[in-house]
Amino acid sequence: MEGRPPGRPQFGTRRIASLFFIPVMAYLNENYLKLQAGYLFPEIARRVGEFCEAHPEAAKRLIRCGIGDVTEPLPQAAVEAMKRAVDELGVRETFRGYGHEQGYEFLRSKIAQINYCERGVEIAAAEIFLSDGSKCDCGYILDVLGDQNKIAIPDPVYPVYVDTNVMAGHTGQAKSDGSYEGIIYLPCRAENDFVPKPPNEHVDIIYLCFPNNPTGAVASREQLTRWVEYAREHEAIVLFDAAYEAYISEPEIPHSIFEIPGARECAVELRSFSKTGGFTGVRCGFTVMPESLLARTENGRHLPLHPLWQRRWSTKANSVSYPVQRGAEALYSAEGRKQVRALVDHYMGNAGILAEAAKKIGLEVFGGRNAPYIWVKTPAGLTSWQMFDRLLNEINVVITPGSGFGSNGEGYIRVSAFNSRENAEEVARRLQSLT
Amino acid sequence: MEGRPPGRPQFGTRRIASLFFIPVMAYLNENYLKLQAGYLFPEIARRVGEFCEAHPEAAKRLIRCGIGDVTEPLPQAAVEAMKRAVDELGVRETFRGYGHEQGYEFLRSKIAQINYCERGVEIAAAEIFLSDGSKCDCGYILDVLGDQNKIAIPDPVYPVYVDTNVMAGHTGQAKSDGSYEGIIYLPCRAENDFVPKPPNEHVDIIYLCFPNNPTGAVASREQLTRWVEYAREHEAIVLFDAAYEAYISEPEIPHSIFEIPGARECAVELRSFSKTGGFTGVRCGFTVMPESLLARTENGRHLPLHPLWQRRWSTKANSVSYPVQRGAEALYSAEGRKQVRALVDHYMGNAGILAEAAKKIGLEVFGGRNAPYIWVKTPAGLTSWQMFDRLLNEINVVITPGSGFGSNGEGYIRVSAFNSRENAEEVARRLQSLT
């Protein structure tokens, strides 16, 4: 290399930093090395890729009920609003640069009003923080929480809750069953209707997701009340993922943790436009961070988390793309609400068709009534991945193996209802040919 | 509260966790409490707000040269591409959900080709990671780096580098001058042309930003080579913020750290569409993470950072809004490149006008030749905030006090060229009235 003085060590060698050989090189975050090799979905993609290469003919009739990704077009209300917003940015008089770091008030106040106040839940626009998606918020929220917290996570579960905690150094190494030391797992099984009870021990942070991904289970008011009581007794925080709340069809099921008295003192809620407005590629979600939620310092001061969360956003981000915020706002218009309803009804129609078909061939089926996922017990003796391979090979349908969501998911598969009606009906027909 | 069994403690009280009084409450990230009260820009907003309330007439003629936010409309190429993309999402046949977690290949390959290969720099599309902005990437990059690293940061500096490290626990408490224990500050003064030399001690991570925000300084090939040599000798990593590279007018100044031989082994580059395509409200940027960049584990293994960064993106995000990626792609079309060039020329024209005016009244002016910021020495005896107040009160112009960027910024102000030509000329006229 030009300009390198003679005698300088080459890259990759150790150098004498003082009197001793001290390895001096920038450190990486070693917690990442604890992560299991495949995030679930890349592994599915790998197997599907192999299958398609080996069977190019069968590959043509492949139907994907794997990743929970929407398939139907964006509601027209959102399309029009986003295009209008882009046009605004193309004209000097209506151009906008940086927006409010928490998200524009026009969207936050709609959310507070329609998602919360109209359901009798007291949430202010100042407590809403827009983001580029619920998946992102799952990681971001750890920014403001202490590393000392004891974390409880359901099993099976959306892998992001676990993996972000591993990355943040909140766990030990992975065990042979894929679970991590240091996390308290809350088993979700048929015996407890896939809704875990609060543990007998103390935990500080609890992840809950209802309607649930992957099991499709919902928690009753009574069950959520028990969690809020636990959290208040233990001064713990519930991170409540309500990304699928729009899919609730039974009127007595709470849509928000904040419908439970006392939750404003112990919960954060995560929501998304991905599965309501079909925003998986558009990217927008939000957290509700109540101003009344406290957490503690090492020396026992109790402080609100809201200012920390606000600081996180003002320092680390510039909020969500303006046209996207206008698109999300449009989902709250009269037209937009109708179009979202139609999307949800479409996917729930698929869920009904898939659940019916699975039952017909004698499979035990859970979920699918208040959630766009059905959770199906594999026939006796088959593991989740064996069932995955069987469905892929025999009827060319891709599902998600339950064991990918945690050891208590073994013996189940998740079938996603995010598809065209045609595909859902075709999967239903093919399932019959399995018998 | 309904359902609370008698005798349970109320919220806020301590409970007996075992035999001892142990405070049990979820912990917050106490590092946030070390942060100085005001992030610079909120403090400016507060002072401006107070002024406007006290002087409603003067408020009407206020001109903002404070925050570095663009003012001119989005290039038409981007407007059209974004609208087309939104339309695609509105139709079933062309609808897209989740995209590639690193960003779509169509955009990453354009970036690799036009920003790098065309300048003779070997960067592959697989080494580009799209994000919702450079500010966000400043925080994200710390996810994959170890907490043991010794951090060097220029002074004055874009406050986000410092604050994200404070939040991550990489510093001690703030000192009275606003600096933090544990950070190695690299003074940027007129004496060194605002380009720091590598320190005499060992550091692991170095933040560099050229063209510089706030000083407008650029680093020569020779100066950057010295940094790359230092980084390779110390096996350190340079985080190179090139958000303003499009503003470089002098042909001999490097646009990318990767123009320096050896940088692929020791640098990460951050770039943004905010100041090229006017994307401050649209949100898109990217990092270049070379596959050849290594970092170390505690026990001395040397591993590439690229897989960790990739894992960060696949686990914690779903990349950037599809229409935004199409908008960014359009900036690379023949039309788009012309329109970006016109935007940059416009702002650089302003920079020239402002620099000229400041010089005319006898002020010492730096920057403004390869950057959209001019860095102006305050007249003898005035602090940065005094000069801020004087300009606000006497000529109703908002600038940024240099001391807000670090103690070595004291005695300077930053004047942003992001404005209409009309406003830049009016500021120039008003400056003359100061004399």
Q: What ipTM was assigned to the predicted interfaces of this complex?
A: 0.93
| Displacement of CA A149 from its chain's centroid (Å) | 21
pLDDT at B39: 65
Residue B11 has pLDDT above 70, yes or no: no
CB contact under 8 A, B27 and A147: yes
Residue B19 has pLDDT above 70, yes or no: no
Mean pLDDT is lowest, of A139-143, A419-423, A431-435, B179-183, for A431-435
A30 contacts in chain B (CB < 8 Å): 146, 297-298
Contact at 8 Å (CB) between A385 and A47? no
Q: Quick one: pLDDT band at residue A3, thresholds 50, 70, 90?
A: very low
Among residues 362-391 of chain A, which lie with CB inside 8 Å of chain B?
none
The count of other CB atoms within 10 Å of the CB of residue A327 is: 33
Q: What is the mean pLDDT of residues B140-152?
A: 97
Mean pLDDT of chain A: 93
**If DSSP codes are grouped into helix, strand and coil, which group holds residue B412?**
strand
Q: Give the N- to C-terminal CA distance of chain A in Å, as an integer.
A: 68
Torsion of CA A232, A238, A243, A248, to 10 degrees: -40
CA distances from B252 to B208, B219, B220 (A): 18, 10, 7
Q: What is the mean pLDDT of residues A249-257?
A: 98
Mean pLDDT of chain B: 93
pLDDT at B13: 35
pLDDT at B43: 84
pLDDT at A1: 34
CB contact under 8 A, A8 and B233: yes
Q: What is the mean pLDDT of residues B269-275?
A: 98
**If DSSP codes are grouped into helix, strand and coil, which group holds residue B16?**
strand
CB contact under 8 A, A71 and B15: no
Higher pLDDT, B393 or B9: B393
Mean pLDDT is lowest, of A178-182, B265-269, B368-372, for A178-182
Whether chain B has a CB inside 8 Å of the CB on A335: the answer is no
Give the residue on B whose Cα is nearest the Cα of A23.
B300
Residue A273 has pLDDT above 70, yes or no: yes
**If DSSP codes are grouped into helix, strand and coil, which group holds residue A205?**
strand
pLDDT at A68: 87
Percent of chain A at pLDDT > 90 equals 89
pLDDT at A2: 37
Non-local (6+) Cβ contacts of B235 within 8 A are: A11, A24, A25, A26, B204, B266, B294, B296
Residue B294 has pLDDT above 90, yes or no: yes
pLDDT at A18: 40
CB contact under 8 A, A27 and B164: no
A8 contacts in chain B (CB < 8 Å): 229, 233
Q: What is the mean pLDDT of residues B95-123?
A: 97
pLDDT at B111: 98
Q: How many angstroms separate the CA atoms of A240 and A275, rounded?
A: 16
Q: What is the mean pLDDT of residues A338-354?
A: 98
Contact at 8 Å (CB) between B156 and B406? yes
Q: What is the pLDDT of residues A327-344, one digit of tens each?
A: 999 999 999 999 999 999
B266 contacts in chain A (CB < 8 Å): 11
The candidate with the shortest Cα–Cα distance to B356, out of B275, B253, B425, B434, is B425
The candidate with the shortest Cα–Cα distance to A305, out of A342, A268, A338, is A268
Token code pair at residue A217: 């289970």
Residue A162 has pLDDT above 50, yes or no: yes
Length of chain B: 435
Alpha helix positions (H), B192-305: 221-234
Q: Quick one: pLDDT band at residue B22, thresholds 50, 70, 90?
A: very low
Min Cα–Cα distance to chain B from A39, Å: 8
Percent of chain B at pLDDT > 90 equals 89
Among residues 142-201 of chain A, which lie with CB inside 8 Å of chain B?
143-149, 159-160, 163-164, 167
pLDDT at A49: 95
Q: How many angstroms separate the CA atoms of B159 and B56, rounded?
A: 31
pLDDT at B37: 67
Q: How many angstroms separate the CA atoms of B6 and A1, rounded?
A: 76
